[in-house]
């Protein structure tokens, strides 16, 4: 169980996966950055008669992952001098490589079912000694791994990075019921010493600690805005730079996080706490849900509360 962490696989190349891979590269840890096959052929690929299985199409995913990584982690978040430390690829093609690394981190969409299915696939190639963690914002570590074998569950925990992963010092480590305390200590030391994080050990409760408080605050702000008839800009003016929080304006933050992800995170508490008053506080507003339905997901889709310039 005492393997040092020298090589990693990051699964999911979205906002956080690409940011975590960039941070690993910056500190000298080579990693594979994997994601699912693009759902559709581009028009020029279809015209050439290519299929989704063709290497050219699969390489498009890799190119897209790097483009996303550069877009969401502009210098100095990501140092291109270390670009060769990140190998992007297709999840289906490279799953077997999970057996060759020391740490696998799952960073896919905030959805219990998707994460459970992915963990089953990871477990097939996993070797004892390799830590597997999830970057979930608040889904239960035990629920995610309930169907996995005991040895796997001993190696599984939450490692919750904040956005952007290079600069946000906080990292929550969330042991599950069966996680080995020895591996938690090892991960804590690695995150502190190698990744430069300030680690908080959190319990496996809905949204852990930081997002339980953060989501509550954001939803309360939104309700105050609706009740008081304020605009998005007015609320951002009193929750951001003017009060000494240069990057914390409410709606700018939601655009950065991803409005779809935020709704999933709020729903996770709503669906998993028994107390009625607490549930009500975590009910995501219809305004947020209608933005998601329109595809206004924030910076990642080019439009959220603000249009990306
Ligand atoms: P995102 O929407 O930017 O990216 C999600 C990625 O998952 C996409 O690249 C998508 O192709 C991939 N994906 C979807 N289904 C998949 C599957 N079955 N297998 C493999 N890949 C799949 O999301 P994100 O913001 O990067 O969030 C990822 C995780 O990190 C979530 O659990 C989220 O709650 C958590 N998180 C997000 C933030 C944030 O600020 N956005 C902060 C901390 C934690």
Q: Residue 262: give its domain's CATH number.
A: 1.10.1040.10
pLDDT at 31 over 80: yes
Q: 69 lies in which domain range?
A: 8-201
pLDDT at 75 over 80: no
Judge whether 147 counts as a catalytic residue.
no
Residue 140's pLDDT band (boundaries 50, 70, 90)? very high
Residue 83's pLDDT band (boundaries 50, 70, 90)? confident
Domain boundary (179, 201, 223) is at 201
Within 8 A by CB and 6+ apart from 225, the residues are: 231, 232, 234, 235
Residues 52 and 165 in one domain: yes
State the pLDDT at residue 76.
61
Residue 256's pLDDT band (boundaries 50, 70, 90)? very high
Cα separation, 131 vs 173, whole angstroms? 13
Residue in 23, 155, 160, 264 annotated catalytic: 160
Which domain CATH number covers 24? 3.40.50.720
| Overall number of domains in the chain | 2
Percent above pLDDT 70 for the chain: 95
pLDDT at 66 over 90: no
Q: How far is CA 231 from CA 6, 77, 254, in A?
A: 48, 32, 15
Residues 192 and 257 in one domain: no
Tell me the CA–centroid distance for residue 69 and ligand 1, in Å. 13
Which comes out higher in pLDDT, residue 28 or 117?
117
Residues 243 and 99 in one domain: no
Residues 120 and 140 in one domain: yes
Which comes out higher in pLDDT, residue 49 or 225?
225
Longest dimension (CA), the chain: 57
ipTM of the complex: 0.98
Residue 151 CB-half CA count within 13 A: 8
Which comes out higher in pLDDT, residue 227 or 40?
227
Bridge pairing between strands 156-161 and 170-175: antiparallel
Q: What is the residue with the minimal CA distance to atom 36 of ligand 1?
A: 137
Pocket test for ligand 1, best of 37, 106, 107, 269 (most atoms within 8 A of CB): 107
212-225: pLDDT as tens digits: 999 999 999 999 99
Tell me the CA–centroid distance for residue 17 and ligand 1, in Å. 7
Instruction: Tell which atom from ligand 1 comes closest to the C-alpha of 256.
Output: 40
Cα separation, 138 vs 233, whole angstroms? 29
Residues 188 and 214 in one domain: no
Cα 41 to chain centroid distance, Å, stands at: 26
161-165 average pLDDT score: 93
Residues 246 and 155 in one domain: no
State the pLDDT at residue 78.
65
Pocket test for ligand 1, best of 19, 109, 269, 284 (most atoms within 8 A of CB): 109
Is residue 3 included in any domain, yes or no? no
Pocket test for ligand 1, best of 16, 39, 119 (most atoms within 8 A of CB): 16
Which comes out higher in pLDDT, residue 84 or 23?
23
Residues 197 and 219 in one domain: no
Residues 155 and 269 in one domain: no
- On average, the pLDDT of the chain sits at 91
Residues 17 and 159 in one domain: yes
Q: What is the residue with the minimal CA distance to atom 43 of ligand 1?
A: 162
Instruction: Tell which atom from ligand 1 comes closest to the C-alpha of 18.
Output: 26
State the pLDDT at residue 1.
57
The one-character DSSP state at 40 is: S
The model's pTM? 0.91
Residues 32 and 180 in one domain: yes
State the pLDDT at residue 222.
95
Residues 190 and 218 in one domain: no
Residues 47 and 130 in one domain: yes
Cα separation, 37 vs 91, whole angstroms? 7
Rounded to 5°, the CA angle 282-287-289 comes to 70
> Which of 255, 249, 253 has its CA nearest to residue 298?
255
| Residue 24: both structure tokens together | 């690993």
State the pLDDT at residue 120.
98
pLDDT at 157 over 70: yes
The answer to whether the beta carbons of residues 98 and 9 sit under 8 Å apart is yes
State the pLDDT at residue 132.
98
Q: What is the residue with the minimal CA distance to atom 16 of ligand 1?
A: 108
Is residue 50 included in any domain, yes or no? yes
Q: What is the residue with the minimal CA distance to atom 1 of ligand 1?
A: 14
Which comes out higher in pLDDT, residue 265 or 63?
265
Give ligand 1 pocket residues (Cβ under 6 A): 11-17, 35-36, 91, 107-110, 114, 118, 135-137, 161-163, 257-258, 261, 265, 300
The one-character DSSP state at 207 is: T
166-213: pLDDT as tens digits: 889 999 999 999 999 999 999 999 999 999 999 999 999 999 999 999
Tell me the CA–centroid distance for residue 152 and ligand 1, in Å. 22
Cα separation, 177 vs 247, whole angstroms? 36
State the pLDDT at residue 166.
85
């Amino acid at each position: 169980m005492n393997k040092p962490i020298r090589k990693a696989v990051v699964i999911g190349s979205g906002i956080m996966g690409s940011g975590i891979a960039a941070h690993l590269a910056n500190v000298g840890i080579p990693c594979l950055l994997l994601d699912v096959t693009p759902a559709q052929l581009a028009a020029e690929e279809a015209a050439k008669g290519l299929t989704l299985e063709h290497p050219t199409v699969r390489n498009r995913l890799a190119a897209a992952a790097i483009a996303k990584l550069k877009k969401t982690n502009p210098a100095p978040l990501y140092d291109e001098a270390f670009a060769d430390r990140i190998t992007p690829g297709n999840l289906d093609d490279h799953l077997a490589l999970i057996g060759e690394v020391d740490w696998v981190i799952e960073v896919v969409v905030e959805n219990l079912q998707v994460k459970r299915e992915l963990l089953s696939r990871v477990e097939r190639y996993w070797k004892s000694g390799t830590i597997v963690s999830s970057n979930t914002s608040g889904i239960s570590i035990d629920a995610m791994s309930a169907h996995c074998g005991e040895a796997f569950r001993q190696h599984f925990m939450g490692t919750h990075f904040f956005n952007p992963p290079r600069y946000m010092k906080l990292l929550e480590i969330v042991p599950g019921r069966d996680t080995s305390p020895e591996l938690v200590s090892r991960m804590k030391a690695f995150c502190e010493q190698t990744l430069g994080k300030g680690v908080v050990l959190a319990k496996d409760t809905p949204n852990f600690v930081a997002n339980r408080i953060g989501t509550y605050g954001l939803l309360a702000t939104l309700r105050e805005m609706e009740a008081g008839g304020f605009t998005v800009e007015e609320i951002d003016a009193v929750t951001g730079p003017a009060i000494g929080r240069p990057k914390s304006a409410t709606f700018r933050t939601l655009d950065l996080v991803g409005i779809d992800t935020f709704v999933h995170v709020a729903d996770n508490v709503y669906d998993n706490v028994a107390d009625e008053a607490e549930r009500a506080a975590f009910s995501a507003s219809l305004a947020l849900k209608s933005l998601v339905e329109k595809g206004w997901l924030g910076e990642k889709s080019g439009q959220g509360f603000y249009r990306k310039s």
